[in-house]
Amino acid sequence: MKTYDAIVIGGGHNGLTTAAYLAKAGKSVLLLERRHVLGGAAVSEEIFPGYTFSACSYVVSLLRPNVIRELELPRFGLQILPLETTFNPLLDGRYLLRGKDPETTYRSLAKFSKKDAETAPLFSQAMAELSRMVKPIIDGPAPDPASFKPKDLFSLLRLGRIFKDAGEDFVAAQVKMMTMSAVDFLSEWFEAEQLISPMSASGIIGTFLGVRSPGTAYVLLHHYMGEIDGSFRAWGLPKGGTGAISMAIAKSAQHFGAEIRTNAGVSKVLLEGDKAVGVVLENGDELRAKTVISGCDPRRTFLGFVGEKSLDGDFVKQIKRYKMRGSSGKVNLALDRLPSFKSLPGDGPHLKGDITFAPSIDFLEKAYDDAKYGAFSRRPFMNIVFPSVTDPSVAPAGKHVMSIFVQYAPYHLKEGPEAWPSQKEAFGDAVCNMVEELAPGFKSSILHRHILTPWDLEKEYGLTEGNIFHGELSIEQLAFFRPASGFARYRTPIRNLWLCGSGAHPGGGVMAGPGWLCAKTMLEEGAV
């Protein structure tokens, strides 16, 4: 039987990235995907004939530029289309439109606050500056503060120097970001709630926190990191859906010699002593490899594929405490026509961008209140895109696809997560009713409806508790804490078992950072 240099579990974009980098380095690699289609949560699926959806994740945010380049992704079909305005419809019939054009943004903000309109560019600049300082953290393995290895000390030193050079203001801002709530942090800059509210919403995406919860300011930073990669590549709409990114990485991996199998679910990691030597498939087949790399989340990897018995008690405790708790769902619609928003009727550039519905801070907090007590938000926060407006290839001529990210949809319902299937349609109705309120007549344009609850995200896509980031991006679960202290460098307590998914540093989002850094670490350390 063939012994591979590496077996990668899971064909999500990170697993594929690791496979591609290892194959590029000349290693024999086999990637196993449980589903019939590659991509994990970065997947395109023709759910209804003629309509292709980015079923789960729906925009490209921080896809690492070096990954695009080194894996030659444009050559394998990657195309990122512009998505550059943010439209915020309000309940009182007004709206906010922010975009690439500073004048439009200024005029739109000035309707609410002239002061904020002038402050907004300064804020962006300050955030870009902050994220530039933080960038080395996401573009390298997490420093390990407990290590005395020269390399780790050096990277800590480098980080320390960044902080020192940056001066007090930077350190103060950084501490504020790590401890404050998104609303409090933004309120230090802005006064108009109509602006603070949608901006703060980006601090809660994918977390089980509210915009007034401490620590949510930090996630805002992630939204500005794209800017420092240059406006050329990092942010946008993947042509053909998010799955097109995964497919480009897969084609690159195959080009470099990796073998990819779909419909090949793994049931466990094969162990000999404390060493991983391969995997056992759901059909009972055994496959052997010198190293096994899991692109699945830490909970599934350690408690599912490895098993508590083979792990140290303390480590098991850490993994059990690691917060998954999914908080969001997705409604994907096929539409007969585009909706006409009450606040800005008809077609226009606002339908080409991102639409964030977060009309007030209280609105967001009330949406969170529902979730705190185990129910989905009756009136949810929504992030909407219409990919077919810019990319007609995803829908039949004249028709459209609509992607609605919805929060909150807590995994742990009052009645238990298994109650989700019985509440799924009601959840879909709540979302569609909310859109109808903003765009009367919208419901009559719906041709097909596809709903993903956290339960579906877990059962179909393998995201434990439906957490879209493989674990919350809260400060105590980032960098050298991700997913467990002492194991933030892609290594695990099991020899030759590695972690390359979003549950590893630098975390979730379609950035391929963990996948790339895991492969890089393995190659540098001669582990494969």
Partner 1 sequence: MGYPSPFHERMVALNETWKYKDWAGIVSPCRFIENHVYEYTAFRQATGLLDVSPLYKYEITGKDAGAFISYVTSRDVTKMKPGRVTYLCWCDDHGKVIDDGTVTRLDEQTFRMTAADPQYAWLLGYSSGFDLKIDDISRTMAALALQGPTSRDVLKSCSDLGELKFFGSVAAKLAGKKVRISRTGYTGDLGYEVWCDWNDGVAVWDACMQAGKAYGIVAAGLDALDMARIEAGFILLGVDYFSALHVTVPEKKSSPYEIGLDGTVELDRDPFVGQKALRAAREKGSERALVGLELDWPELEAMYSEHDMAPALSSMASRESLPIYLDGGQVGRVSSSSWSPTLKKYLAIGSVRRELSAVGTVLEVEHTVMFERRTVHARVVERPFFDPERKRKP
Which positions touch partner 1 (CB under 8 A)? Answer: 65-66, 68-69, 73-74, 78-82, 84, 99-101, 103-104, 132, 227-233, 239, 349, 352, 388-393, 397-398
* Shortest Å, Cβ 351 to partner 1: 12
Choose between 163 and 307: whose C-beta lies nearer to partner 1: 163
Residue closer to partner 1 (CB basis): 195 or 389: 389
- Give min distance, CB of 520 to partner 1, in A: 16
Estimate to the nearest angstrom the gap between the alpha carbon of 272 and the chain centroid: 34
**Is 84 or 436 the residue whose CB approaches partner 1 more closely?**
84
Strands 86-89 and 354-357: parallel
Sheet with strand 328-335: strands edge to edge: 95-98, 86-89, 354-357, 381-385, 400-407, 328-335, 446-452
Q: Which is nearer to partner 1, 101 or 169 (CB)?
A: 101
Q: How far is the CB of 180 from partner 1 (least distance, A)?
A: 25
- The residues pairing with 383 across neighbouring beta strands, listed in sequence order, are 356, 405
Strands (E), 232-273: 237-238, 259-261, 266-272
Tell me the C-alpha distance between 296 and 501, whole Å: 6
Strand runs labelled E in 33-185: 44-48, 51-54, 80-81, 86-89, 95-98
d(CA 206, CA 381): 12
Q: Among residues 82 and 307, whose Cβ is nearest to partner 1?
A: 82
Least distance to partner 1, CB of residue 27, Å:
24
Measured from the CB atom, is 167 or 273 closer to partner 1? 167
Task: Tell the smallest beta-carbon distance from residue 66 to partner 1 (Å).
Answer: 8
Which CB atom, from 284 or from 398, has the smaller least distance to partner 1?
A: 398
Q: Encoding tokens for residue 66? A: 């070096």
Which residues make Cβ contacts (< 8 Å) with residue 505, sequence separation at least 6? 141, 142, 478, 479, 480, 482, 488, 489, 490, 513, 514, 517
In the complex, minimum distance from the CB of residue 451 to partner 1, in angstroms, rounded to a whole number: 27
User: CA angle 76-297-57, nearest 5°?
Assistant: 50
Nearer to partner 1 among residue 24 and residue 424 (C-beta): 24
Residue 232 carries which DSSP code? T
CB of 394 to partner 1, least distance (A): 10
**Contact yes or no for 16/251 (Cβ under 8 A):** no
Q: Rounded to 5, what percent of the chain is helix, strand, coil? A: 40, 20, 40
Residue 395 or 519 with smaller CB distance to partner 1 = 395
Q: Name the 3-class secondary structure at 159.
A: helix
Name the one residue in this structure whose structure tokens are 């290892």: 22
The smaller minimum CB distance to partner 1, of residues 155 and 291, is found at: 155
**Do 20 and 249 form a contact (C-beta atoms < 8 A)?**
yes
Rounded to a whole number of angstroms, the minimum distance from the CB of residue 244 to partner 1 is 12
C-alpha 357/C-alpha 362 separation (Å) is 13
Q: For residues 131 and 332, which CB has a smaller minimum distance to partner 1 in the complex?
A: 131
Cβ closest to partner 1, residue 330 vs residue 352:
352
Provide the minimum distance between the beta carbon of 349 and partner 1 in the complex, in angstroms, as a whole number. Answer: 6
CB of 1 to partner 1, least distance (A): 41
Residues 6 or more apart in contact with residue 19 via CB below 8 angstroms? 6, 8, 29, 31, 253, 258, 260
- Rounded to a whole number of angstroms, the minimum distance from the CB of residue 391 to partner 1 is 5
The residues facing 44 across adjacent strands are: 54
Backbone angles phi, psi at 263, to 5 degrees: 50, 35
Cα–chain center distance at 429:
25
Minimum distance, C-beta of residue 18 to partner 1, in the bound complex (Å): 22
